[in-house]
Amino acid sequence: MNQSRTDTLEVPGATLHYEVLGAGPVLLLIPGGPADAGAFASIRGELSGRYTVVTYDPRGLSRSSVDGEPRNTTVRTFADDAHELLAAMGTGPAYVLGSSGGALVGLELVSRYPEQVRALVAHEPPLTRLLDDADEHARSAREIHDTYLSEGVGPAMGKFLASAGLDGDPPRPAAGLNPEMAGAMARMQGNFDFFLGHMFLPFGEYAPDIPRLRSLPITVAVGEASEGQLAYRAAVTLAERLGKEPAVFPGDHGGFNSHPRAFARRLDEVLGTP
């Protein structure tokens, strides 16, 4: 049975918590929103027989601390952190899977540090600035942020989920989860303040360098059950701008949790690995 190794890495302005499991070429998994390394608890075991799976808590979230007071943090800073983590691994170019906001980080990582990325799968990146109704989404984002400042996490997350086309209340720990997933869900409750206060607006303002991305090894992925949702629309638009067909993956925005085995098989197909 594979044993997970846990460590920390000092990067400019923060200390990252990261975990390594498995053997083979490095596969870096980048979570989105307020999620941490535990977002991939369901799938990393499916992947660790073929890859050295690296997961981590982005700065400011869960077990990754920032130096000094929290401040607004850009996609570029998160990408620089991923670059530092891959450099510390010392294993050469890596496969990268980024989910949601983590896909934005992946796009910036491959754009700024192409020598580090063997291939990127950007799963439903919420690039609202590419959409025809980008101004409307920018106004909605400001309203969500104002709601957070005036009313707190609950009302703001409710508006956020509605704007993204995701039903329900903010995620909460549920009975029946394995201990790793239950821990991840519990930690997420403590991440909403940093996400809404210091990540949400900078991530919404992110726009990638499309001409540069066209020459890089990128697959844009969508969930087969996500059609009509905001991140699906944005991903399809990105794929069109890059002149590519989006790759369809099992499940919806969180398909790597709801369909881990099928998602892992599809990832192998897209990456061209056995």
236-261 confidence digits (pLDDT tens): 999 999 999 999 999 999 999 999 99
Q: For residue 165, what pLDDT band results from cuts at 50, 70 and 90?
A: confident
Both tokens of 153, joined, read 């996490």
* Integer Cα distance of 33 and 35 in angstroms: 6
In 177-251, where do the E strands start and end? 218-223, 247-249
Q: What CATH number corresponds to the domain at position 227? A: 3.40.50.1820
Q: What is the number of structural domains in the chain? A: 1
pLDDT at 173: 46
Residue type, 175: A
- Residue 152 domain-assigned (yes or no): no
- Residue 183 domain-assigned (yes or no): no
- Residue 174 domain-assigned (yes or no): no
- Residue 163 domain-assigned (yes or no): no
Q: Which of 31, 32, 5 is nearest to 88 (CA)?
A: 5
CA angle 208, 252, 117 (to 5 degrees): 40
Q: Which of 84, 34, 54 is nearest to 200 (CA)?
A: 34
CB atoms near residue 211 (< 10 Å): 9
Q: Is 187 within 8 Å of 213 (Cβ atoms)?
A: no
CA dihedral angle for residue 227, residue 233, residue 235, residue 239, rounded to 10 degrees: 100
Q: For residue 273, what pLDDT band results from cuts at 50, 70 and 90?
A: confident
The percentage of the chain sitting over the pLDDT mark of 90, rounded to a whole number, equals 89
Of the candidate ranges 78-82, 134-138, 182-186, 204-208, the one whose mean pLDDT is the lowest: 182-186
First to last CA, the chain: 20
Q: What is the 3-state secondary structure (H, E, C) of 65-103?
A: EECCCCCCCCHHHHHHHHHHHHHHHCCCCEEEEEECHHH
- Residue 100 domain-assigned (yes or no): yes
* Integer Cα distance of 136 and 88 in angstroms: 41
119 conformational bin, left if phi > 0, alpha if psi -120 to 50, beta if neither: beta
Q: For residue 106, what pLDDT band results from cuts at 50, 70 and 90?
A: very high
pLDDT digits (tens, 9 = 90+) for 9-38: 999 999 999 999 999 999 999 999 999 999
Coil/strand/helix, residue 183: helix
> What's the whole-number mean pLDDT along residues 88-115?
98
pTM for the predicted model, two decimal places:
0.94
Range of the domain at 240: 5-127+207-271
Q: Which of 106, 92, 116, 84 is nearest to 15 (CA)?
A: 84
Q: For residue 3, what pLDDT band results from cuts at 50, 70 and 90?
A: confident
The percentage of the chain sitting over the pLDDT mark of 70, rounded to a whole number, equals 95
Both tokens of 94, joined, read 């890596």
Cα–chain center distance at 70: 20
pLDDT digits (tens, 9 = 90+) for 174-231: 445 667 777 888 899 999 999 999 999 999 999 999 999 999 999 999 999 999 999 9
Q: Which of 80, 140, 74, 66 is nearest to 101 (CA)?
A: 74
- Residue 171 domain-assigned (yes or no): no
Q: Is 54 within 8 Å of 274 (Cβ atoms)?
A: no
170 has a pLDDT exceeding 60: no
- Residue 80 domain-assigned (yes or no): yes
pLDDT at 71: 95
Q: What is the 3-state secondary structure (H, E, C) of 149-179?
A: HHHCHHHHHHHHHHHHCCCCCCCCCCCCCCH
- Residue 164 domain-assigned (yes or no): no
76 has a pLDDT exceeding 70: yes
pLDDT at 174: 47
The rounded mean pLDDT for the chain is 94
